[in-house]
């Protein structure tokens, strides 16, 4: 790979690491496949461009380090609503899930009494596992667990699909972005507290902020409990992001040893460890989807328990 091609003075690692993030374009591996629309809200005006090249040709904005900025003052627009690379991978994940569920439903409706097989069997096993091993054991309220079961199923399969898409050759991991994991954590935060309030009522939910302590300790306990609520969501966000990003960096580092030592003699060791890390990251993809889902269920179960 030439320096002219990478645009990084021959630093292949800097070039490849820059491709792990989000981009204004659809990428397969480090290669741009097609342009994506750039949508900006700035100064009370919504501006849309079919590509970054069209945006720069209009003369109002230019791309700096992967972000659009105003030509006049070098500041970013008020809101960037562009369709980016990781958004497309999320759409691909949703499309794959939709097709899989549609096929399973069609097969079930055609033969409701036949034993499930193939894809239908896999989806049914996932549903039963999330219901019987994740949701019901951690949420004591049967009504609440049944109502929120679709959410937990969606959460698990969506995270798992995005994780696995990032392991495909040329794929990008949407869960390796703080924006994605932060949004998932925000929905979990809403479900945890909203579900608790719906289950036990607002007054009893407020009692949880005392952490079981006396009322005269509320100036100390209430802020601590509020910080803890946000800390749980923050931990969910960072844990998923860090684990999915670390695996890709580890793979890149192992393969990069060949270029660092500038000899093929290191290739057998580098490739062997890369294969091991790849299988390990496949395990992590399943594990992190499970951990995010079960922790959300545990936090909801704790928040919806009656205080004594």
At residue 88, the pLDDT reads: 94
Please state the φ and ψ torsions of residue 48, each to the nearest 5 degrees. -125, 135
| Residue 186 to residue 173: CA distance in whole angstroms | 19
Task: Give the mean model confidence (pLDDT) for residues 270-278.
Answer: 88
For 201-222, what is each residue's pLDDT tens digit?
888 888 878 766 777 777 888 8
| Residue 198 to residue 130: CA distance in whole angstroms | 22
* C-beta of residue 155 within 8 angstroms of C-beta of residue 294: no
pLDDT at 95 over 90: yes
Half-sphere exposure of 303 (CA within 13 A, CB side): 28
| Residue 48 to residue 26: CA distance in whole angstroms | 17
At residue 57, the pLDDT reads: 92
At residue 307, the pLDDT reads: 55
At residue 308, the pLDDT reads: 46
At residue 68, the pLDDT reads: 92
Length of the chain: 308
Tell me the three state secondary structure of residue 184.
Answer: helix
């Amino acid at each position: 790979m030439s320096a002219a091609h990478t645009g990084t003075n021959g630093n292949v690692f800097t070039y490849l690491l820059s491709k792990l993030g989000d981009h204004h374009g659809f990428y397969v591996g480090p290669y741009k496949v097609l342009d994506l629309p750039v949508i900006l809200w700035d100064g009370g005006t919504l501006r849309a461009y079919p590509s970054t090249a069209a945006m720069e040709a209009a003369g109002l904005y230019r791309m700096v380090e992967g972000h659009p900025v105003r030509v006049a003052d070098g500041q970013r627009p008020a809101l960037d609503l562009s369709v980016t690379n990781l958004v497309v991978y999320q759409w691909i994940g949703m499309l794959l899930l939709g097709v899989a569920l549609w096929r399973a439903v069609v097969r079930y409706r055609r033969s409701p009494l036949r034993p499930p097989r193939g894809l239908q069997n896999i989806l049914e096993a996932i549903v039963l596992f999330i219901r019987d091993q994740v949701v019901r054991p951690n949420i004591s309220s049967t009504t609440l667990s049944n109502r929120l079961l679709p959410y937990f199923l969606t959460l698990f399969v969506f995270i798992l699909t995005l994780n696995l898409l990032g392991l495909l050759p040329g794929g990008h991991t949407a869960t390796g972005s703080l924006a994605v994991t932060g949004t998932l954590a925000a929905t979990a935060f809403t479900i945890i507290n909203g579900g608790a309030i719906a289950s036990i009522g607002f007054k009893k939910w407020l009692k949880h902020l005392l952490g079981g302590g006396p009322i005269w300790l509320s100036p100390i306990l209430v802020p601590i409990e509020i910080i803890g609520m946000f800390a749980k969501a923050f931990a969910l966000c960072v844990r998923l992001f860090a684990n999915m990003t670390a695996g890709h960096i580890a793979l890149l580092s192992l393969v990069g040893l060949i270029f660092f030592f500038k000899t093929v003699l290191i290739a057998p060791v580098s490739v062997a460890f890369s294969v091991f890390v790849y299988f390990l990251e496949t395990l992590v993809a399943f594990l992190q989807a499970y951990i995010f889902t079960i922790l959300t269920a545990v936090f909801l179960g704790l928040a919806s328990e009656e205080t004594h």
